[in-house]
């Protein structure tokens, strides 16, 4: 057995920033390197795992994708993450590199700390924490407060403890990063990207790298091999909760639910219903697959904030059940019953 530790890259970033897209690009350009993926999703439909497995066996073998779907990886470190890592390490041919995709709602800090568990620390080190940022959403102010609204809230109730859960999570994910990928720059003008980069540089930890990207297309040599050993450096990467001396954090600010829609007779009508829903409710993320009647492929549906897109990602296999399932994520208070009723038409 080699004494060298296996490098692990943690890919984090808010809902829909482009983590799965980046990993897909990485696998397609890994040039034979044996990479195992650990994927954590909120909700019980493994959309990200399915997208990656859909890349084809030569890029991503099914046995190299491990899905953790029992809630958020940052809260289930001991029960899920550590045993999963141990299993990967006990394989006859352990991976050469491990890539971990956190859910868009996860804090990376508890996960990175888990690399200090003795049974992991002796065999694995964090190569880098990569935080993917949705440049378009950031430019639209989705991670910041509307200052006037906050001032009005405070004026109405000065005792109000103001916390924007999205902004806080975004900052925690930034603060832990070795590399920040400013993704989706295709949706911005050059001067907007430059302005965002300049603004972000003022907010990130010294030494963290900021790189612009489109569809996560980064040079694999830059992405892997950072060798940060972030697990030894957590005092420089504290989350808001840690800075405030809290051990626990929770996801009470967000709700996630999934639902089955049955066979879809008309693709366009379904997409219109989803568009209307997104306009009417504060849905942060919606994703899933649909079985459109008469279509040979499964329809992948992706919505991030106001942007919706869909395409047939691969043919249905003869041995699988054709079903339509979506997961919806939003802030607490989302009207689940109304959304379900509307989605089901
Ligand atoms: N225009 C544009 N779209 C992108 C880019 N990167 C990703 N997307 C799209 O953004 C949507 C979300 O991408 P994902 O890679 O699934 O994002 P994610 O961070 O894995 O999402 P969660 O795991 O749900 O948090 C998909 O529709 C992607 O095709 C990009 O650089 N430009």
| Domain definitions of the chain by residue range | 6-243, 254-343
Fold of 6-243: Rossmann fold (3.40.50)
Which of 40-49, 63-72, 86-95, 233-242 shows the lowest per-residue confidence on average (mean pLDDT)?
A: 40-49
How high is the pLDDT of residue 160? 55
Weakest-pLDDT range from 79-83, 154-158, 213-217, 222-226 = 154-158
Distance from residue 148's CA to the centre of ligand 1 (Å): 30
More confident residue, 80 or 185: 185
Spacing of C-alpha 194 from chain mean position? 24
Q: Cβ neighbours of residue 326 under 8 Å, at least 6 residues apart? A: 45, 258, 259, 261, 286, 287, 288, 289, 290, 301, 343
pLDDT of residue 147: 60
For residue 60, pLDDT over 80 is answered with no
How far out from the chain centre does Cα 313 lie?
Answer: 19
**Summary mean pLDDT of the chain:** 88
Backbone angles phi, psi at 322, to 5 degrees: -80, 115
Sheet with 283-290: strands ordered across: 254-260, 325-331, 283-290, 297-304, 307-315
| Average pLDDT over every residue of 318-331 | 91
**What proportion of the chain, given as a percentage, has pLDDT over 90?**
61
For 92-124, what is each residue's pLDDT tens digit? 988 999 999 998 988 899 999 999 999 899 999
In this predicted structure, the answer to whether residue 226 has a pLDDT above a threshold of 70 is yes
Does ligand 1 come within 6 angstroms of the Cβ of 183? yes
187 lines ligand 1 (CB under 6 A): yes
Q: What pLDDT sits at residue 164?
A: 81
- Residue 173 beta carbon below 6 angstroms from any ligand 1 atom: no
The CATH number that domain 254-343 falls under is: 3.30.1220.10
Q: What is the pTM of this model?
A: 0.91
Whether residue 328 is predicted with pLDDT greater than 60 in this model: the reply is: yes
Q: Is the CB of 20 under 6 A from ligand 1?
A: yes
Q: pLDDT digits over 189-198, tens only?
A: 999 999 999 9
**pLDDT at position 67, please?**
82
Q: What is the mean pLDDT of residues 186-210?
A: 94
143 Cα–ligand 1 center, Å: 17
Confidence at residue 212, expressed as pLDDT on a 0 to 100 scale: 96
User: Does the beta carbon of 214 sit less than 6 angstroms from any atom of ligand 1?
Assistant: yes
77 pLDDT band (50/70/90 cuts)?
A: confident
Q: What is the pLDDT of residue 128?
A: 98
What pLDDT is attached to residue 58?
66
């Amino acid at each position: 057995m080699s004494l060298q530790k296996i490098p692990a890259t943690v890919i984090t970033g808010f809902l829909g920033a482009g983590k799965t897209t980046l990993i897909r690009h990485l696998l397609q350009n890994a040039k034979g390197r044996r990479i195992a993926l650990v994927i954590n999703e909120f909700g019980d439909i493994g959309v990200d795992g399915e997208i990656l497995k859909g890349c084809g066996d030569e890029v991503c073998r099914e046995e190299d994708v491990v899905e953790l779907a029992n809630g958020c990886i940052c809260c289930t470190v001991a029960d899920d993450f550590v045993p999963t890592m141990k299993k990967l390490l006990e394989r006859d041919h352990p991976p050469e590199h491990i890539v971990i995709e956190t859910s868009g709602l996860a804090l990376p800090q508890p996960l990175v700390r888990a690399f200090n568990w003795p049974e992991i620390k002796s065999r694995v080190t964090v190569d880098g924490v990569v935080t993917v940022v949705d440049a378009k959403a950031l430019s639209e102010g989705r991670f910041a407060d509307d200052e006037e609204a906050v001032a009005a809230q405070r004026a109405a109730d000065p005792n109000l403890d103001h916390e924007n859960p999205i902004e806080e999570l975004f900052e925690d994910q930034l603060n832990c990063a070795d590399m920040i990928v400013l993704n989706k720059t295709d949706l911005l003008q050059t001067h907007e990207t430059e302005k965002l980069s300049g603004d972000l540089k003022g907010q990130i930890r010294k030494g963290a790298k900021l790189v612009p990207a489109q569809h996560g297309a980064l040079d694999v040599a830059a992405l892997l091999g950072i060798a940060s050993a972030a697990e030894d450096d957590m005092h420089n990467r504290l989350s808001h909760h840690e800075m405030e001396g809290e051990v626990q954090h929770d996801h009470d600010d967000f709700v996630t639910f999934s639902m089955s829609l049955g066979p879809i007779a008309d693709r366009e009508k379904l997409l219109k219903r989803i568009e209307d829903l997104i306009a009417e409710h504060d849905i942060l993320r919606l994703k899933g697959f649909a079985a459109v009647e008469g279509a040979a492929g499964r329809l992948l549906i992706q919505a991030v904030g106001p942007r919706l897109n869909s395409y047939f990602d691969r043919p249905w296999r003869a041995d699988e059940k054709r079903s339509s399932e979506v997961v919806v994520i939003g802030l607490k208070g989302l009207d689940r019953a109304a959304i379900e009723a509307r989605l089901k038409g």
